[in-house]
Amino acid sequence: MNALPGYARLEEAGKLDERVERAYAVLEACELCPRRCRVNRRRGETGFCRTAQNAVVSGADAHFGEEDPLVGNNGSGTIFFSYCNLRCHFCQNAHIAHDGLGRTVSDAQLASMMLDLQRRGCHNVNAVTPTHVLPNVVGALRTAGRSGLRLPLCYNTGGYDSIESIQLLDGIADLYLADIKFMDPNASREYVSAGPADYSERATEAVREMHRQVGDLVTDGRGIAQRGLMIRHLVMPDNVAGTDRLMRWIAGNLSPHTYVNIMAQYTPAHHAHQYPRIARPITAREFADAVEAARDAGLTNIDRRALLQYESLRRRLR
């Protein structure tokens, strides 16, 4: 077994209870994300994320579609939370993020899911879209940890997190997988529900704090992620996401060794066809340009599969 995960170390130090209580206190006037709805979710009120006190889960399973350092041989132990504090107009999982497909679970049930993923040999607990259910995640970790959970926690977020929420996770999250979607405020204003113009500002602020906490990605002898920051970025048509700008920001503000997954799978899902600039898939040239922007910025730890896809496309583009 590897070194104790952060939440287990906090528990040993007698500090985890206080952190869980602080997280739950936020729900009384919710400011878990930058939308700061300030509704009392502990009394059943709901804000933008449509979630009251208990989390809604659409599924928990060993997942093999995540990044290689998370998947290893036995899969990443993903728990997919329903609803979302973004609800992008091009969402590829709208039935989960927009419609809330899933079942409401208690923290005890969530802890049982985590323990089951460990029994199945998963390499981590991967909390997917956890921003609006942060208290449930840390509460379940406390319960599961007391029953023997020792997997690292991967906090897999869409990036629109308040800095205070990420600070609450200091010493709890071992891995951050942050999806930075846009660098242009006009893009987030147009392509995200209720258009948050501060998306890029809040996302980069949060990611900077994540990197301060856990640093660059560290893997064990098998190549399995143990600690560190990983960034995802979905390449979009017509460079509406500001990919080149983002790559320069990562290299200049975090580290040139930051693990970056540049993703080519954009397709005009959900309501994307209503927006002309994003109403088509990306081209091979657009993806190649994105990878080249990362290289030109000096980034040295680009996802292996993204590089393989790039090399294949480059031969075709010659």
Could you read off the pLDDT of 238-277 as tens digits, one per residue?
A: 999 999 999 999 999 999 999 999 999 999 999 999 999 9
Residue 61 corresponds to which amino acid? D
- Topology at the third CATH level for domain 6-317: TIM Barrel (3.20.20)
Q: What is the pLDDT of residues 55-113, one digit of tens each?
A: 999 999 999 999 999 999 999 999 999 999 999 999 999 999 999 999 999 999 999 99
Q: What is the pLDDT of residues 287-301, one digit of tens each?
A: 999 999 999 999 999
Mean pLDDT of the chain: 97
Ordered by start, the domain boundaries in the chain are: 6-317
Q: What is the pLDDT of residues 161-213, one digit of tens each?
A: 999 999 999 999 999 999 999 999 999 999 999 999 999 999 999 999 999 99
pLDDT score of 2 more than 80? no
pLDDT over 90, % of the chain: 97
pLDDT at residue number 128: 98
Confidence of residue 317 (pLDDT cuts 50, 70, 90): confident
Confidence of residue 1 (pLDDT cuts 50, 70, 90): very low
pLDDT at residue number 241: 97
